[in-house]
Structure 1
């Protein structure tokens, strides 16, 4: 296509999809490149050359290029942040300024991590997220930043499974900060198969996270008896100094028994129930 300008003639042509991404990347428009990449992955991109019509075949072709785009973004931004904050934080004249710079660095890494998580979830490449990108954050001493970014996606059920290494890191990190209740909420939204079962059960017992404990046994082992026995032991322990814990255990014990009774009532009439208990 030729365009007539005031002083010259311009020639325009349609770029192949790889060149479109490369042009945006070279211009530093990473967000634009990711936007185009996601449209390509969804099959919604317009004026695209060289891609099949079938969505599965299309995704198979574009995914390696999209992962390369993400890797280049992570490498470039991490290099910049390392130069911007690495020596600056160490050279801070006092603790207050050092803390401010540390917070600023964490915010910048969090922005990068948010982009990476959104993109990996969108293109169904969480393996890359939990391997290459997670290790990048660990190497940059931003492991906690990455783990905190995962929580909203877990609670929204966008991330239902974590790699064992990442899940273990999440449990350990949140436990060290005293965020055990937040761990419990995350566990309730997780795929049991992705958890280190024994580790999470131990954490739940140590911190009296009974709803998560019940979920683990019920969902993971199809075991409804063990958590009930454990709750009974807590309630019967008169030497237990945690009064609030006993109340919490009683609540879940009552809830379990209530549901057991309701399930039983579906099969038996009320006279049969009264006959059994009177």
Structure 2
């Protein structure tokens, strides 16, 4: 039986996360996985602010977290701060965990709103152990004991996205993924119906070198350019600008404001 060929267009964290996960869960006897990228095309290589879901993703791949931390230059993250949220002088923390506890089936924030109206509540952030630890530059792994207050939060990472892509590339290639270097000149579509493809489906990628990469399934990780899904297949772009009060991101370097403290704990 011929192996099915999966072609991923684009590297970066998106492309190599896709390659790593497919190489982990697809049988190599049934599927061939290749990734096409060009070193001449840059990626959005910024410091990545992740969510706790990335921990789950790494665990699914069987990645050792200590090795991952070293290879990506990562730091731990317990919450997200939104300064100037609502008004310039305000600041809001979104914790990776609970803020207070439900009381008799009623969500904690309802009690807080009532007490706050009466002038008796403390700042909402003070009811979250994750926020309190983050503000004091402290970290400890969550407890597995549900009765321990330290079981009420999770964590994520700040990391270098380009280093993460490099780390996953090594992981994926070890699992049999083949990388092709080259810039895609044209996306070729089927002009005739085949057993597994209709007219207009993607047939292959033609590189500037003249090499042709055939495949059975193509995954577009080319970023904003949308080389397959938009330029070739013209699937259409749904503009949500009118729904977004914040519709852009600006990446700039910044100086370190302090040195994070180290809180030793047993994992």
Same fold (TM over 0.5): no
Decide which structure has the larger Cα Rg and report it: 1
Question: Larger relative CO (CA 8 A, sep 6+): 1 or 2?
Answer: 2
Instruction: Answer 1 or 2: which has greater helix percent.
Output: 1
